[in-house]
């Protein structure tokens, strides 16, 4: 059962942020603001969940290395396939990471600062604070990827 199906006697269970697929920048900006606010003090860190793991130097990069030519989100193997964008369904890990690298450049994020925050987020003593700072710093990359056609779910799960 997917998250949007209902169980008799229960309302459908859908996280409204999981189904965000819009590519209009003004809509995306409003969704980001609402998503960050909904997370309370967790802010961008809570909203972006595991997004930073996809960034250059993130843990998904090394994890995906042996399977760079396979799809990161196979709709035939997931109950959440309805949340996937068409873009991710037809991409390989390699293409996905190339798009992230391109979005990093297009968003104007300083790659040196990004690398510093990613490394700092891996250090136990700074882990939580650095992850929150990294998430806020990475929001423009996330935004650019959404404009490029990626859904929220593609980027955070």
pLDDT value, residue 3: 44
User: What CA–CA distance (Å, rounded) separates 134 from 147?
Assistant: 20
The position carrying tokens 């964008």 is 85
**Confidence bin at 15 (pLDDT 50/70/90):** low
149 three-class SS: coil
pLDDT value, residue 72: 86
Where are the chain's structural domains? Answer: 25-156
- In b/e form, how buried is each residue of 14-46, taking b as 16+ CB within 10 angstroms? eeebbbbbeeeeeebeebbeebbeebeeebbbe
Q: Could you read off the pLDDT of 86-132 as tens digits, one per residue? A: 899 899 999 999 999 999 999 999 999 999 999 998 887 666 788 89
* Whole-number Cα distances in Å, 69 to 39, 46, 126, 149: 34, 30, 34, 20
The position carrying tokens 């859904």 is 151
pLDDT value, residue 7: 44
Is pLDDT of 21 > 90?
no
């Amino acid at each position: 059962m997917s998250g949007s199906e209902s169980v008799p006697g229960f309302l459908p269970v859908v996280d409204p942020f999981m189904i965000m697929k819009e590519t209009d920048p003004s809509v995306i900006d409003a969704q980001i603001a609402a998503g960050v606010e909904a997370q309370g003090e967790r802010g961008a860190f809570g909203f972006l969940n595991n997004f930073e793991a996809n960034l250059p130097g993130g843990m998904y990069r090394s994890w995906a290395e042996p399977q760079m030519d396979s799809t990161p989100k196979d709709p035939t193997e997931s109950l959440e396939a309805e949340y996937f964008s068409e873009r991710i369904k037809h991409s390989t890990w390699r293409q996905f990471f190339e798009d992230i690298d391109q979005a990093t450049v297009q968003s104007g994020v300083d790659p040196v600062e990004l690398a510093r925050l990613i490394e700092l987020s891996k250090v136990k003593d700074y882990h939580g604070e650095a992850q929150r700072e990294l998430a806020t710093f990475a929001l423009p990359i996330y935004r650019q990827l959404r404009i490029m056609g990626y859904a929220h779910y593609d980027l955070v799960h």
